[in-house]
Homo-oligomer: A and B are copies of this chain.
Amino acid sequence: MRDFSADHRWLSINTATLRGAGTLHAIIEACARHEIRAIAPWRDQVAAIGIERAARLIREHRLELSGYCRGGMFPALDAAGRRAALEDNRRAIDEAKQLDAACLVLVVGSLPGALAGAPASKDLFAARSEVRDGIAATLEYARGVGMPLAIEPLHPMYAADRACVNTLEQALDLCDALDPRRDREGDSVSSDGASRAALGVAVDVYHVWWDPKLEAQIARAGRDRLLAFHVCDWLVPTRDLLNDRGMMGDGVIEIARIRGWVEAAGFAGYSEVEIFSSENWWKRPADDVLATCIERHRSCV
């Protein structure tokens, strides 16, 4: 297992962690000040400053992208909505490619309308079927471009509105169904030199830490399907279902134990910090947040 205690070279910052810190331009400059080597930006933050400018800033600061957030959200109210989702996913892949991201993270979606608070269906089976079809269609395009897709299983508390893929086992079943040969793309080689499958998973400890099958499923995923590793912490108590994630070390997740499993499976990429925290970290200055991320990366990840 890699020793993270001496430096933060394998730290990546998911830019959602700095939602309170202004534009992507400001976030990138803050990361550069702290000698952070990698980020994972969100599409809205990229769009807000323009992708050309984002790409230039990323190049200028020699930042790697541990991932690009996010594609997915496949289920829709009707065929037109599903078509629009597929088109949007193709755009996300093109953007990820333009920014040279390691993968496009997929938050797959669930019951149509639920994210807006007005679910138009209760049929989780239909949602799963639409997700499967959506990934299949998107994978075809992603293969052509050479952009790996990382299905992120979300915590079951998001099953209604954000993702109907809620365990690593379920995500890997999808991978095996849609990419049975674990096809590699010629240019899908991650920063650690590992080859990667065209379809894999993003393992976020926040979503999967509770799972009694986690260790076994991480081993099953193997090096080529482990496309991203996200960290934060589960606070006790958790006061909000979405925006009360904790800084590593402030909660109860045995992050290093899980990183051990991921590395035992061959993963040697970035540990990406993704913290949604409307009442705490989003209210603090970017330099404080990043200094804490670095310190906790070295001591708690």
Q: Within the complex, what minimum Cβ distance (angstroms) separates A295 from chain B?
A: 19
Looking at the complex, which one of B164, B166, B210, B236 makes contact with A117 (CB distance below 8 Å)? B236
> Which residues from chain B contact A212 at a C-beta distance below 8 Å?
128, 166-167, 170
Interface residue stretch chosen among A152-160, A185-193, A275-283: A152-160
A247 on the interface (CB 8 Å rule)?
no
A114 on the interface (CB 8 Å rule)?
yes
A77 on the interface (CB 8 Å rule)?
no
Nearest B residue to A238 via CB reads B241
A211 on the interface (CB 8 Å rule)?
yes
B122 lies within 8 A of A254 (CB)? yes
Looking at the complex, which one of B111, B122, B156 makes contact with A211 (CB distance below 8 Å)? B156
> Which residues from chain B contact A266 at a C-beta distance below 8 Å?
none
A204 on the interface (CB 8 Å rule)?
no
Nearest B residue to A173 via CB reads B212
B166 lies within 8 A of A210 (CB)? yes
Contact A161 B123, CB 8 Å, known A128-B212, A211-B156, A212-B128: no
Q: Within the complex, what minimum Cβ distance (angstroms) separates A153 from chain B?
A: 10
Looking at the complex, which one of B114, B170, B209, B210 makes contact with A252 (CB distance below 8 Å)? B114
Q: Within the complex, what minimum Cβ distance (angstroms) separates A241 from chain B?
A: 6
A124 on the interface (CB 8 Å rule)?
yes
Give the complex CA separation of A117 and B238 in angstroms.
10
Interface string of A283-298 (1 = CB under 8 A from B): 0000000000000000
B252 lies within 8 A of A111 (CB)? yes
> Which residues from chain B contact A123 at a C-beta distance below 8 Å?
254
> Which residues from chain B contact A180 at a C-beta distance below 8 Å?
none
Contacts of A112-138 to chain B: CB distance below 8 A: 114, 117-119, 122-124, 128
A237 on the interface (CB 8 Å rule)?
yes
Q: Within the complex, what minimum Cβ distance (angstroms) separates A257 from chain B?
A: 9
Q: Within the complex, what minimum Cβ distance (angstroms) separates A130 from chain B?
A: 15
A234 on the interface (CB 8 Å rule)?
yes
Contact A161 B119, CB 8 Å, known A167-B212, A210-B124: no
A92 on the interface (CB 8 Å rule)?
no
A157 lies within 8 A of B160 (CB)? no
Give the complex CA separation of A111 and B117 in angstroms.
33
Contacts of A84-123 to chain B: CB distance below 8 A: 111, 114, 117-119, 122-123
> Which residues from chain B contact A21 at a C-beta distance below 8 Å?
none
